[in-house]
Amino acid sequence: MVTSIDIKKVSSRGKVVMDLDVWMNDPDDYDFSPRISLVGNAIELSEPTHEGVLASIELDDDALQLAERDRVVEARIKFSVHGMHGTLTHKTQNTRTGPKSKKLAEPRWKVMLPLQ
């Protein structure tokens, strides 16, 4: 289940592209189906299992015009899990040669979301 969504960046180059960080409770959570809606000049992200809006951001004029024209937004999503991805307390000095040099997997997802 999704705990929070952070909108990192919104860019408009031919289409509106959003970079999102999605935090999940459990690594076995697969229930994520985002909904995106355009309210005024802001985009709001919601999820059917949650009530209300999880994240929103105001769009500039160019991005708003592209979103209204295409009625679709490309979302680049990075999933993280509480307890697995966080702040390391013991860091290796030289990560290329240290015994714990590998990072945990960070699943990423790219999807075209229709505006509602």
Write out pLDDT tens, residues 13-57.
Answer: 899 999 999 988 887 777 888 999 999 999 999 988 888 899 999
Pair 80, 106: CB distance under 8 Å:
yes
* pLDDT band at 67; cut points 50, 70, 90: very high
* pLDDT band at 60; cut points 50, 70, 90: very high
Write out pLDDT tens, residues 77-98.
Answer: 998 887 765 555 666 566 566 5
Pair 20, 5: CB distance under 8 Å:
yes
* Rounded-to-integer distance, Cα 3 and Cα 54, Å: 9
Nearest to 107 by CA among 10, 30, 3: 30
Mean pLDDT of the chain: 84
* Rounded-to-integer distance, Cα 68 and Cα 41, Å: 10
